[in-house]
Amino acid sequence: MRKKLLLGNWKMNKTVSEAKDFALQTAELVKFAEEHNVLVGVAPTYLCLDAVKNNVSGMIVAAQNCHFEDNGAFTGEVSIPMLKDLGINWCLIGNSERRTYDNETNEKCNKKIVKLVHNDMVPVYCCGETLAQFEAGETKNVVESQIREGLANLCEKCISKVVVAYEPVWSIGTGKNASKEIAEDICKFIRDILRDMYGNAADEVLILYGGSVKPDNIQAYLSQENVDGALVGGASLKIDSYEAMLHNLVK
Ligand code: PGA
């Protein structure tokens, strides 16, 4: 049986002291999550990873990106061995903001994902269509190429370690969340593609919904068969709303 996962994406928010402050308030939340068999985590900026890691226990701490090379002349980048050395084992890949502003292609995401998996790390691969693509009825075509190209070259055993997040771009940070039916339809579609690519290991893959998830709508998504959790931006920044999402998720 697949576990549930609540993962906060802090994006470019929080100073090191603010991140530490949040981490220091997580003890109750982690206890509740453990009691209910839910995985919880946050993805802070690189600068805050160490502070969060050292002040929480029982929470996943994920990076928001990584480079696919181990080292070299790549100003401003951070590599997988650098993250591993900090004890970071999870990493977001291909968030729509990175696809939009940093030219993150499916091919580039794939290089990172293959490298992460070979380093025993968990990639959280984000996919999803833009508003124009949604309105043109292209959602499934777009998502299918993102999945087939971004998650190519893995083995059956490796794929079960990958987490996928379906985040329609038009719903991110806009308050216009996709309906639970759309979320289920696309998450199931993703699982079917993974089954076609990697066989029954697809049943072990955690597939999250993301885009304007809040305490009052999280339960509707999580009640869907193929939605195993949520990737949450804005509503994960405050401990109160993070906690409220966790409580509503298990209802
Ligand atoms: P949001 O962001 O919850 O603020 O819409 C989601 C994301 O980009 O992961």
What does DSSP assign to residue 116?
A: H
- Å from CA of 45 to ligand 1 middle: 15
The share of the chain scoring above pLDDT 70, in percent, equals: 100
The token duo for 31 is: 């206890």
Give the rounded distance of the alpha carbon of 197 from its chain centre: 21
Q: In this predicted model, what pLDDT tens digit does every residue of 137-189 receive, in sequence order? A: 999 999 999 999 999 999 988 999 999 999 999 988 787 889 999 999 999 99
Please report the pLDDT score of residue 218 as a whole number: 97
Q: Which atom of ligand 1 is nearest to the CA of 210?
A: 6
Give the C-alpha separation, 13 to 19, whole Å.
Answer: 9
Q: Using most ligand atoms within 8 A of CB, pick from 65, 124, 232 the residue to mutate for ligand 1.
A: 232
The token duo for 42 is: 């946050």
Q: In this predicted model, what pLDDT tens digit does every residue of 55-66 receive, in sequence order? A: 999 999 999 999
Please report the pLDDT score of residue 1 as a whole number: 86
pTM (2 d.p.) = 0.97
Identify the residues whose C-beta falls under 6 Å from ligand 1. 9, 95, 167, 172-173, 210-213, 231-235
- CA-closest residue to ligand 1 atom 2: 233
